[in-house]
Structure 1
Amino acid sequence: MSGLGDVLAIARKARGLTQSELADLVGTTQPTINRYEAGDRDPDPQTVAALAEALGVTEQLLTHGNRFRGALAVDAHMRRQKTTKASLWRQMEARLNLLRVHASFLFEEISIRSEQHVPTFDPDDVPAQHAARLIRAQWRMPLGPVVNLTRWLEGAGVLVFEEDFGTHRIDGLSQWVGDHPVMLINASAPPDRKRLTKAHELGHLVLHSNVATDDMESEANRFAAELLMPLDEIRAELRKVDLGSLVALKREWGVSMQALVERAHAIKTVTPEQRTRFYKMMNARGWKTNEPGGEFIPAERPEFPTRIGDALLAKGFTEERIAQIAGAATTDGNPFKPTPINRLRAL
């Protein structure tokens, strides 16, 4: 068997297609697609070509399953609301897994080195807050607010991608591909929420890559809070919390007012009653999903994937060849597409 089944299923789900819809696109039947995905039958070369074209990937990527390092189609760590439809979060999970396959396919051709790395800890031995402090120490992060968290993540070899998920109910998700973690973040979220999501997903990668616990979401939240708002450094600023101070602290620390209130509540400088009043005020003003002050938080744009494309372009590869290396059928579908300015220079 070719190992095509898992990659085929991932690519199909990532495109939001049912087995019947894919079958119609390639001129076959749903039971046949099911047999391909189950590994009970291998398609002939003509059908592989048709499947690849319908899914926007190369034929080589479809047969990549036997060479993929690590499990395919794994459950992703995901920051989402509990009421999110299963079909929606399963599609985003497939999108992440397809990015993992693209990255693994590319890493067979090139080697990526990073200044730092993402360590992993057993949460039974290393509490979430302590793990966050260890990360800050190992990465030599300066005291105070984290400036451009995305850059710190990419400096540790994390591939960060942003896409508009078409919903506010899913913030982001993450998993490993070989030695490199991959994050997929909702591009439509405000900058402060994206930063918290990235810190939350880093917590999952650090704490839950080798072990699952009963309290993973809370552990990731505690990790994110300590990473972005170290208790020893922010405690004094949370002694008095009101609307004016929250807006100022949001601008300084790059986190939402809600995250600041939750931090203050955790260290008991905000009472449960004050916390309840705060959320009632937020709801009354329509700020629960659109807080003020977001315009003061700089947007953090991922650069690592395009830098990989730029490096290959500088070595003389064409855009079409770079897409092929990443397993994408077209240059537009290449997640490692070079930046526009470098593409123009190469013409």
Structure 2
Amino acid sequence: MAEDLNWQLVGEQVRQARLSVGISQQDLASAVGLERTMLAKIEAGNRRLDGLELARLARALRVSMEYLIEPRPAVLSRRAAPLTEETDTAAARSSERLEIALVEWLRNVQQLIGLGVLRPRPILRYPQPVASEGDARRAAAWVRKQAGLGDGPIGSMMDVCEWAGQWVLVTDLPGDGASLVDGDIAVAVVSTMGDPGRRRATAAHELGHLIIGDEYSSDLGVSSSRAEREAAIDAFAAELLLPVQAVVAGCGAGSMTRDRLVEFAARYRTSWLLALRQAERAGVIDGSTRRSWSEPRPTRAEFMEAVGWAPQPDLESVRVPPTYAQAVMEAWRASRITRARALELMHGQVTDADLPVDDDVEIEP
């Protein structure tokens, strides 16, 4: 295997992974039992590694060995430059860790598909060009129609994304989210760090990147800046989560009150700011009202009271799609993967104590 590896690639992957966890060459070298000068040569692609050294580096960097030796696919939602010492910031490190998690998640999904326990989902693509925020909103309405959602609240963004062909992982890493498409497989990661409304908005945003496409795959980027493209994707996400028509219909003949809008935000599980923007777009409040209602934001008690104190979970306790979780369990029960690998693939959805005792000998695929 060593003869076939691209050592320049391996070195670059090691360097970027090291920078993403914020440690120096000396600290990493000490952790894996190497001289700092040896690690410098590895990162420069001038020194080969044996399997044991690769395993030690992967463990210290909290990545898989495969991540270090395989080229990364192009990220759909971000086309950022590689992390370097010159661009090393806390935000850049968080972004890099999310991208690493995204690539690892893609390979998890690919493994289960390769084992035949997970079926690829057809990717949903909007058939019309999207060149404006208005086009993006129409795309969101189209998705709702295709999914049979009407104008009602979306129960689970995880389910909607899976239906559209995008496998979503919920991770504790800082940041918002990222997504990519590799061949006929689409994946996304969403951080738990934000409030529930923000998590759902992030999932809807990444779904927008898939369905609408990015500057490399649609008309969205032909004559617009990246900021304009992101604004269009945000418009898609807002309309998907809380349709303007639903706000208009819910307001009825009366005027929109703050308490009523709190109820909308609670039932549709959106952020308060998203609800305000949609209400203004619906014409039921004006810009002055939106600004005056933006602070102070509703408390959690207000949101819970609006839905009768009923729990409204989404993208929190569930870390992986249900179909994916079932595939992991099927692979484990059939001894296609080890118990340890099954736990890795579940990403904290279950613990070792949750798995039934199995005395059969397990083998790696």
Q: Which of the five TM-score ranges fits, normalised by the shorter chain? A: 0.7 to 0.9
For 1:146, the equivalent position in structure 2 comes to 154
What runs of 5+ residues in structure 2 fail to find an aligned partner?
Answer: 1-5, 81-86, 360-365
For 1:90, the equivalent position in structure 2 comes to 92
For 2:34, the equivalent position in structure 1 comes to 28
Tell me if structure 2 keeps the 8 A contact 1:117–1:156. yes
Taking a change above 3 Å as real, the CA distance of residues 28 and 218 of structure 1, as seen in their structure-2 partners, is same
Structure 1 residue 219: Cα displacement: 0.9
Structure 1 residue 223: Cα displacement: 0.3
Taking a change above 3 Å as real, the CA distance of residues 34 and 297 of structure 1, as seen in their structure-2 partners, is farther
Taking a change above 3 Å as real, the CA distance of residues 261 and 101 of structure 1, as seen in their structure-2 partners, is closer
Residue identity (%): 22
Structure 1 residue 261: Cα displacement: 1.4
1:343 aligns with 2:343: no
CA distance in 2 between partners of 1:14 and 1:309 (Å) = 29
Taking a change above 3 Å as real, the CA distance of residues 200 and 296 of structure 1, as seen in their structure-2 partners, is farther
Choose from 160, 169, 175 the match for 2:168: 160
Choose from 292, 305, 308 the match for 2:302: 292
1:124 aligns with 2:131: yes
153-162 or 219-228: bigger deviation: 153-162
For 1:71, the equivalent position in structure 2 comes to 74
Taking a change above 3 Å as real, the CA distance of residues 302 and 177 of structure 1, as seen in their structure-2 partners, is farther
Paired residue secondary structure (1:344): coil
> TM-score by structure 1 length?
0.76
Matches within 5 A, 1:103-252: 103-106=105-108, 107-108=110-111, 109-110=114-115, 112-119=118-125, 122-124=129-131, 127-165=135-173, 170-211=175-216, 212=221, 213-214=224-225, 215-238=228-251, 240-252=255-267
Tell me if structure 1 keeps the 8 A contact 2:276–2:294. no
For 1:52, the equivalent position in structure 2 comes to 58
What CA RMSD, in Å, does the superposition of the two structures yield over aligned residues? 3.5
For 1:326, the equivalent position in structure 2 comes to none
Structure 1 residue 296: Cα displacement: 4.3
Tell me if structure 1 keeps the 8 A contact 2:123–2:186. no
CA distance in 1 between partners of 2:268 and 2:59 (Å) = 46
CA distance in 1 between partners of 2:199 and 2:291 (Å) = 24
Structure 1 residue 222: Cα displacement: 0.7
Taking a change above 3 Å as real, the CA distance of residues 116 and 302 of structure 1, as seen in their structure-2 partners, is farther
Tell me if structure 2 keeps the 8 A contact 1:251–1:293. yes
Moved over 6 A (4+): none
Tell me if structure 1 keeps the 8 A contact 2:18–2:24. yes
What runs of 5+ residues in structure 1 fail to find an aligned partner?
Answer: 79-84, 324-330
CA distance in 2 between partners of 1:144 and 1:208 (Å) = 25
Taking a change above 3 Å as real, the CA distance of residues 93 and 177 of structure 1, as seen in their structure-2 partners, is farther
1:268 aligns with 2:270: no
Structure 1 residue 293: Cα displacement: 0.8
Taking a change above 3 Å as real, the CA distance of residues 104 and 162 of structure 1, as seen in their structure-2 partners, is closer
Tell me if structure 2 keeps the 8 A contact 1:313–1:346. no
Taking a change above 3 Å as real, the CA distance of residues 33 and 335 of structure 1, as seen in their structure-2 partners, is farther
